[in-house]
Amino acid sequence: MRRLINVSNRLPITIGKTIRKSAGGLVTAMEGISRDFDLRWVGWAGGAITDRRRRQEIEREIEAEYRYYPIFL
Protein backbone atom coordinates (compact mmCIF):
# COMPACT_ATOMS: atom_id res chain seq x y z
CA MET A 1 0.00 0.00 0.00
CA ARG A 2 1.28 3.47 -0.86
CA ARG A 3 1.87 5.95 1.94
CA LEU A 4 0.47 9.48 1.94
CA ILE A 5 1.79 11.96 4.52
CA ASN A 6 -0.35 15.03 5.14
CA VAL A 7 1.42 17.86 6.97
CA SER A 8 -0.91 20.60 8.16
CA ASN A 9 -1.03 23.37 10.71
CA ARG A 10 -3.36 21.37 12.96
CA LEU A 11 -4.44 17.79 13.39
CA PRO A 12 -8.15 17.05 12.97
CA ILE A 13 -8.62 16.24 16.65
CA THR A 14 -9.72 18.02 19.79
CA ILE A 15 -7.83 17.30 22.99
CA GLY A 16 -9.75 17.71 26.23
CA LYS A 17 -10.48 15.13 28.91
CA THR A 18 -10.74 12.78 25.95
CA ILE A 19 -9.38 12.93 22.41
CA ARG A 20 -12.07 13.41 19.77
CA LYS A 21 -11.84 13.46 16.01
CA SER A 22 -12.94 16.78 14.54
CA ALA A 23 -15.55 17.02 11.81
CA GLY A 24 -15.01 18.82 8.54
CA GLY A 25 -14.71 18.52 4.80
CA LEU A 26 -10.98 17.84 4.68
CA VAL A 27 -11.22 15.15 7.37
CA THR A 28 -14.03 13.44 5.47
CA ALA A 29 -12.12 13.61 2.18
CA MET A 30 -8.95 12.25 3.75
CA GLU A 31 -10.87 9.35 5.30
CA GLY A 32 -11.99 8.38 1.80
CA ILE A 33 -8.39 8.47 0.57
CA SER A 34 -7.25 6.34 3.51
CA ARG A 35 -8.87 3.30 1.90
CA ASP A 36 -6.28 3.48 -0.88
CA PHE A 37 -3.30 4.88 1.04
CA ASP A 38 -1.50 4.33 4.31
CA LEU A 39 -2.42 7.83 5.50
CA ARG A 40 -0.30 9.64 8.10
CA TRP A 41 -1.13 13.11 9.39
CA VAL A 42 1.42 15.45 11.04
CA GLY A 43 0.44 18.72 12.72
CA TRP A 44 -0.13 20.75 15.84
CA ALA A 45 -2.10 18.86 18.47
CA GLY A 46 -4.26 21.88 19.26
CA GLY A 47 -3.32 22.34 22.88
CA ALA A 48 -0.54 23.46 25.15
CA ILE A 49 0.33 20.48 27.32
CA THR A 50 3.32 21.24 29.50
CA ASP A 51 3.45 18.01 31.51
CA ARG A 52 5.93 15.78 29.64
CA ARG A 53 4.40 12.51 30.86
CA ARG A 54 0.88 13.54 29.84
CA ARG A 55 2.16 14.72 26.46
CA GLN A 56 3.83 11.34 25.84
CA GLU A 57 0.60 9.53 26.80
CA ILE A 58 -1.35 11.66 24.35
CA GLU A 59 1.24 11.10 21.60
CA ARG A 60 1.03 7.32 22.02
CA GLU A 61 -2.77 7.34 22.07
CA ILE A 62 -3.08 9.56 18.98
CA GLU A 63 -0.48 7.57 17.02
CA ALA A 64 -2.06 4.22 17.92
CA GLU A 65 -5.69 5.16 17.35
CA TYR A 66 -5.51 7.62 14.46
CA ARG A 67 -2.00 7.30 12.96
CA TYR A 68 -1.57 11.02 13.55
CA TYR A 69 1.76 12.45 14.68
CA PRO A 70 1.23 15.44 16.98
CA ILE A 71 3.52 18.43 17.30
CA PHE A 72 3.29 20.25 20.62
CA LEU A 73 4.23 23.94 20.60
In this prediction, residue 70 carries a pLDDT of 93
Residue 64 pLDDT exceeds 90? yes
Hey, is 72 helix, strand or coil? coil
Q: What is the pTM of this model?
A: 0.79
Give the span between the Cα atoms of 64 and 70, in whole angstroms: 12
- Residues 20-51 have pLDDT tens digits of 888 777 777 887 887 888 989 999 988 788 89
In this prediction, residue 33 carries a pLDDT of 80
* Mean of all residue pLDDT scores within the chain: 88
Where are the strands (E) in 11-61, listed by range?
Answer: 13-15, 19-21, 37-44
